Each structure stands twice: as structure tokens, then as C-alpha cells.
Amino acid sequence: MVTTLIRLKGRILINSWTKQWWRALLAVWALLNALGASIGLAVGAFFLGKAAAQDVVFTDLAFALTVGMGSAFIVGWTIFPPLAFGVDNTLDPANFTAYTTATRSFAWGLLLAGGMGTGGIATALLLYSTVVLPIGMGSLTGFFLALIAATLGILTCWLAARVTTGLLSSMGRTRRGRDVAGLVSMMIVFGALILYYMLVMPSSVQPTEGMPVDEGTIKATFDAVVQQGLNIAQILAYTPLGAAWAFPLSFGRGDILPAAAQLLIALATLVVLMAVWQKILPLRMLEPKGGGTTHSAKKEQAAAKEHSKDKTVTLAGYSWLRRLGLSIPAAAVGSNALYSIGKDPRYVSNAISVVIMPVLFFLLGRSIPIYYELAVPLTAFVSGFILLSAWSYDSSAVWMQITAGVRAVDDRVGRAVAALIWQVPAVLLVSVIAGIFLQNPAKIPGIIGYGLAILFIASAVSLVMGAKIPMPGPPPGASPLSTNTGSGHMGLIFLAMGLDLLGTVVLAIPPSVIYFAPIMDETMRMWVTLVGGPVYGALILWAGIRLSARLLAGNEAKILHTISSWTGHTHV
């Protein structure tokens, strides 16, 4: 069973690469980057091992870096696969319901086949490169123990992703569960980012203002940083996150009992995760494809009442947008988008991300004040980026627009206005808070102007990219943690996101130069940015709306066909 599933996954990947060349190109590019990074990491680990054999400080540094990096990988595989794109789920357990049962070999086969994706292979390359560290230290036994540790760590990563994806995906079978899943997923990331801030950027290692910079000061700061990292690593070493990575190094330092305890923790973690995965697997095999569920008569009546209420809310939004001067089709599209922001868990999770980013940067600003200012353009970019997935999220309504003859420009205007209605106040609020935290009210006008410029530019680029490269996303009504986007779409997602970021950065050069470059008095720069930034951004947004409408015009059916090929979107 394990061999069969691995072969099947390999055949699926090869077929997807041969049918669409860009998928093969993206996969090769990603793997070459991972290979280059792993080679660089291996070289660094070798020389760190050489240094650790001569100086105990570097031994502590090696312990802290190895445990910290391994723990970060496990946290990343636990949080981000279910949050963003999911484990590469081309071998959906539900597809095998008619052919097999949830046996142990089937569970292991799905786990190992799932790890054959680009992310799994890249992770394996990077983590196996750490086994060079004991070679640099001159320990052959440590090398074999490090191989075992890396294998345990990689399996822990893959299992953690399977378990969290399975647990959170099962919440998506009810509407309440989908709403809760969207909020929980955002809170998980928020907590992880706060923990990162607390652990990685402790105030105790910040240099004291006015301290002379000499060799002794540098060494003292380096020792303090290493000691801080070692303290964190020693805690992580007795947790499921760091135990697998710690036991070879503990053994090499002569700490036999701690090494044995850490190995037992690592093995117990794998056993528990595998047991949970086997419990989840039967539920995943019976999980409804569309993320929906059946209703009793009473639930259907409640749903009908809710639909009537929703219709009233949508009509109110339509009337309000009409008073803003939008055409009838644009107001209809915009009112539907506004309604989705408050009700659809996928849009709710996006809106929460707009809140999380500035909060994190405000926390970082306590140590490095420039983060206060960077919180504003980041919030603006994340806000504008949401429009990139507008059509893939709204695929159930797009076909009605096409059949009703809604012009592409009305679609673009409606979605842009609906987004800006709540995003502009968010950027204004973050700008004012950033100015207050900076204790420089004179900068607030410039921060506002720069933030609005980035928001308009990011919105324009996202509209254009969304029309040119529809970004795969969870189907309407599904959990934001849904993983059914199909084979090879991870590369397409990263391509769309990368081009969106690149376009925004390039177009944001003029307002960035005015805001940051000391080409005039600061007060003058702030007021010029307040006026010129939004005007420049609005012109880019207008051009983006026109260009994206031109790209959509005549191609709506083709784009809709692409969207309908994604798993869960077939009902469009």
C-alpha cells in the first residue's frame, strides 16, 4: 500500500508537470533553491562543528541553532499548511473510500506520499543538511544519531501537518465550525508571532545606548545572545518541538540521561501523532467533498430565515453604494462583496490578518522604532492583496454576472469600492497609532499619505493579477483551511503572490522616495506625501481597474472554466 501510494503520487506530479510546463519550471526552481540553501547550510554546519570542537561557546551556539531551527520547522508545518494552502492533498483520503479502509499502511502511505511535494522535499533537504554538524566536530556516532534525529524531525513535521489539517478541516463541515476555524487559525498564527517576538527579540540583548563598540563589547553581546538562545533551546529540548533535534547534541556533550529522555520524548511524539492521524483518517475519508452538510427540516427553516435576513442586508448595502454614485451592476457586485466580508469565513480570516500584522509590528517597534512606520505600508499591502483572490472566492456568483452581462469594469469598480470602504479606515487608524507610538505627531500626515498610496497601488496590482492569473482558493462555503485546490496549484499561488508583491514594490517607488529620502525638510515631505501619495495611488488604481477590466473583457468564460476545474468549485 505504501509503495503504491508513493508511485501514484509520483505519477500525479509527473502528469501535472508534463501537461503544464510552468508547474515543472516552478517545481525545479523551488527545489534548486532548496538544494542551494541546504548546501550552504551544510557548509555552515560543518565549520560551526569545527569551531564547537575548540570553544564551548560555539558548542552552545550549535545546540541553540539546531534545536531552534528544528523547532521552527515543526511549528511552521503545524501552523501554515492548514492555515494557508494545506498539505499537498492531491491524494485526498475521500477519493479512496470505495477502495480501502483506514489501515495503518494506508495512513503511512498517505503520510509519505504527501511528503513528496515540493515543500516536503525542500524541508527534508534543509533538515538533513544539519547532519554535517557532528562531522565537523569529529564524531561519527553523532553523525548517525543526527541522521536518526533528522528523520524523526521530518516525520514529525509531516505528521503534525496532517493532524492539524485533519482536526481543523473537520470543523468545516458545519457553518459554525467554518466560522470558528477561520478565527482559530488566525489566532494560532497571532500567538506564534507574539511568541517569536518574546523569544527571539528579548530586550535583554539589546545594546545599551552610548555603549562603546569594541572587541570586548562585541564578545559580551555575542555571549549574551548565545546564552539567551541556549536558555530557550534547553526548554525546547524537553518538548515535542525540540526533543528530536536535541538528543544527538546532548549525547555528544556526555549528557547520556538527558539525551535518552529527549529521544523518548521524540519517539512518544511520533507515536501519539500517528495514533491521532489514524483516528482522524476514517473521518477524512467520509468527509463531504464540498465542505457542506445535510440539514434537518428545522435547520432548513432556520437557514431560510437567515437567507431572508441576509438578502435584506445585501439590499441595504446595494442602496448605500448606489448613493455613492456606482452604477447598478457595480453596486450589486460591491454589495455582495461587502456582505461576504462579514459572513464568509474565508473573507473573515483575511480581514483578521489585516489586524494581526500591525499589532505584531507595533510590538517589534518597542525595540526597533522603524517597525512602527513599517506597520502602515504592510497593513496597506495586505489589505490590497485580498483582491487577488476575489473571483476564486466568489466563484458561485461569478457565473451569474457573466450570464447577466455585467461589464468587466463594473465588476472591478464594485469590488474595489467595497474593499476600500473598510480598508481605508483601517489604514488611517493604523497610521495615527503609528504616529503616536513614534511620539512624532508631525509624521502622521506623511504616514497617512504613504499608507493610502500603498493601499491603492496594492489594490490595483491585485485586480490586474487576479484577472490575469486567478489564484486558487477554498470554494465558496468551505472552511478557510480547505486544502482541495488540486495538484500543482501551490506553485501557481506563489507565482501570483510573488508577481503581486513585485508589481506593488515597483509602482510604490515614487511615494517611497518622497517619504523616506531626505530630499527636503521632513515636515514638507510629510505634507507632500499626504497630498501626492493618495493622488498618485488613485491614478494607479484607476489604471489598474481599466487594465484589469480589459483583461477580463471577453475572457470571463475562460477564467470561469479555470476556476471550475478546481476541486470544490465544480458547481459553478
CB burial readout 406-441, b (16+ within 10 A) else e = bebbbbbbbbbbbbbbebbebbbebbebbbebbebe
- Rounded distance, CA 149 to CA 301, Å? 56
**Residue scoring higher pLDDT (368 or 127):** 127
Cβ of 323: how many Cβ atoms within 10 Å?
8
Please give the pLDDT value at position 358. 81
Size of the chain in residues? 572
Over 60: is that where the pLDDT of 441 sits? yes
**Contact between residue 277 and residue 111 where contact means Cβ atoms under 8 Å apart:** yes
Over 60: is that where the pLDDT of 333 sits? yes
- Rounded distance, CA 11 to CA 34, Å? 22
pLDDT digits (tens, 9 = 90+) for 6-47: 788 877 777 777 776 666 777 787 788 888 888 988 898 888
Give the Cα-Cα-Cα angle 152, 155, 159 (nearest 5 degrees).
Answer: 135
Q: Which helix (H) or strand (E) holds 456?
A: helix 444-468
Over 80: is that where the pLDDT of 250 sits? yes
CA–CA distances in Å: residue 382 to residues 355, 375, 404, 499, 534: 10, 11, 32, 14, 17
pLDDT digits (tens, 9 = 90+) for 94-108: 677 777 777 878 888
- The stretch 384-398 carries a mean pLDDT of 76
* Grid cell 502622521 in the structure block, residue: 444
Q: Which helix (H) or strand (E) holds 156?
A: helix 140-170
- The stretch 299-326 carries a mean pLDDT of 55
Over 50: is that where the pLDDT of 301 sits? no
pTM: 0.63
**Contact between residue 566 and residue 475 where contact means Cβ atoms under 8 Å apart:** yes
Please give the pLDDT value at position 391. 73
The highest-confidence range among 182-191, 467-476, 508-517, by mean pLDDT, is: 508-517
pLDDT digits (tens, 9 = 90+) for 105-159: 888 888 888 777 777 888 889 899 988 888 888 888 888 998 999 999 999 988 8
CA–CA distances in Å: residue 456 to residues 108, 124, 415, 503, 505: 48, 40, 13, 12, 12
Please give the pLDDT value at position 475. 64
Percent of the chain past pLDDT 70, that is, above it, reads: 73
CA–CA distances in Å: residue 151 to residues 213, 223, 261: 43, 31, 18
Please give the pLDDT value at position 6. 79
**Contact between residue 482 and residue 407 where contact means Cβ atoms under 8 Å apart:** no
Confidence category of residue 165, pLDDT binned at 50, 70, 90: confident
The region that residue 453 occupies, defined by phi over 0 for left and psi between -120 and 50 for alpha, beta otherwise, is alpha
